[in-house]
Chains A and B, each alone.
Chain A
Amino acid sequence: MTIYSLYIFDRHCTCVYYQDWHRSKRPRPASSGGILPGVSNAISGLSDTQGGQRSSITPSGGTVVAVGNGELDWPDTAGSMSALSFDEEVKLVYGIILSLKQMVKKMAVKDDTLVNYRTSTYKLHLYETMTGYRFVILTDPHAESLRFALRQLYTGPFLDYVVRNPLMVMDSKEQGIDNELFRAATDRFIRGLSMYN
């Protein structure tokens, strides 16, 4: 029972946040300009131009990512890179969600939306808020529906550290919602779920 990754999309159909835990195929760094700044230090291809090298430790499995001179240094872990760059992957995730929601809407009698789908190696759960934010989480295929967990993530860490944070620019088209408190809180929350590990 593991949790692989979390994506948050806003109502402009862009990814504003990403975090992962146990993913064995590392996401390939995005081509520069492909994703917004402030989504995740781990996959941003942008260098830190404000002088000084900065290294940030991502909470997932202790990988150390040094963002300095525009090159990302992945340690030689057992996992290989996935074939898609991160911005392509994010577009595919969003496209799948959108197509499946349209399909479900067409086929159902009453108002209905996608809850989750499962393949042989992962399960993708979706929770959508009234304001158009879409929380997407990928887990192992045997997990129960995590919709409740995504809802708790929304009402807990998201409302506290993003919505109520006066420094966070939500709904902008140029900025993600990555911040340390939110990242730490979601990490704690996800690790605290009974199905993590």
Chain B
Amino acid sequence: MAIYALWVINKAGGLVYQRNFTADGLAPLSSNDALVLAGTLHGIHAITAKLSPTGSSSGCQVIEAETFKLHILLTATGTKFVLLTSPAELQAQADSVLRRVYEAYADGVMKNPFQTPEMPIRSEGFDARVGAIVKPA
């Protein structure tokens, strides 16, 4: 029951925030690899919405592999919050973490007058709040 990493992807598919919480659990990714994967995930999310056998669907929300799980929160503005966790992580827990990260994002990033929207996030306040959400002291 562990959280491995968090990514924030802007509405164009570019990675704007990446944070790893444990050293093991996932293979180490260079920042270029992470950018490519985030773009791929953005595309995959769009296509999964089209494949629904019963009418309109959201994009994929959970992707499960054997050694990890990927939870995606799509906000109303097209920003994606992606949480990479161990396979045993509960759906409700991951969802609540994503919601709180979104709140921290709204407070620490969107309300920051020096932050250009859709650009990489460099904010100590946001980092601190995310750290507190994922690893409550």
Q: Is B67 a contact partner of A96 (Cβ separation < 8 A)?
A: no
- B123 at interface, CB cutoff 8 A: no
- A117 at interface, CB cutoff 8 A: yes
Give the docked Cα–Cα distance between A102 and B33 (Å).
12
Q: Is A108 a contact partner of B68 (Cβ separation < 8 A)?
A: yes
Q: Is A20 a contact partner of B44 (Cβ separation < 8 A)?
A: no
Chain B interface (Cβ within 8 Å of chain A)? Answer: 24-27, 29, 33, 37, 40-41, 43-44, 47-68, 84
Chain A interface (Cβ within 8 Å of chain B)? Answer: 4-5, 20, 22-25, 82-84, 89, 92-93, 95-96, 99-100, 102-104, 106-110, 112-122, 124, 138, 145
Q: Is A119 a contact partner of B59 (Cβ separation < 8 A)?
A: yes
Q: Is B53 a contact partner of A107 (Cβ separation < 8 A)?
A: no
Q: Is B27 a contact partner of A100 (Cβ separation < 8 A)?
A: no
Q: Is A99 a contact partner of B40 (Cβ separation < 8 A)?
A: yes
On whether A118 and B61 interact (CB within 8 A), knowing A95-B47, A106-B33, A109-B67, the answer reads: yes
Q: Is A117 a contact partner of B57 (Cβ separation < 8 A)?
A: no
Give the docked Cα–Cα distance between A76 and B27 (Å).
52
Residues of the A chain whose Cβ atoms lie less than 8 Å from the Cβ of B44:
96, 99-100, 103
Q: Is A108 a contact partner of B54 (Cβ separation < 8 A)?
A: no
Q: Is B58 a contact partner of A120 (Cβ separation < 8 A)?
A: yes
A61 to chain B, nearest CB (A): 13
Q: Is A4 a contact partner of B66 (Cβ separation < 8 A)?
A: no
Residue from B25, B60, B64 in contact with A119 in the complex, judged by beta carbons closer than 8 Å: B60
Q: Is B54 a contact partner of A89 (Cβ separation < 8 A)?
A: no
Q: Is B43 a contact partner of A4 (Cβ separation < 8 A)?
A: no
Residues of the B chain whose Cβ atoms lie less than 8 Å from the Cβ of A115:
64-66
Give the docked Cα–Cα distance between A32 and B56 (Å).
27
A55 to chain B, nearest CB (A): 25
Q: Is A121 a contact partner of B63 (Cβ separation < 8 A)?
A: no
Closest to B29 in A: A107
Give the docked Cα–Cα distance between A103 and B72 (Å).
15
Residues of the A chain whose Cβ atoms lie less than 8 Å from the Cβ of B51:
89, 92-93, 96, 122, 124, 138
A103 to chain B, nearest CB (A): 6
On whether A103 and B40 interact (CB within 8 A), knowing A119-B48, A138-B53, the answer reads: yes
Residues of the A chain whose Cβ atoms lie less than 8 Å from the Cβ of B59:
119
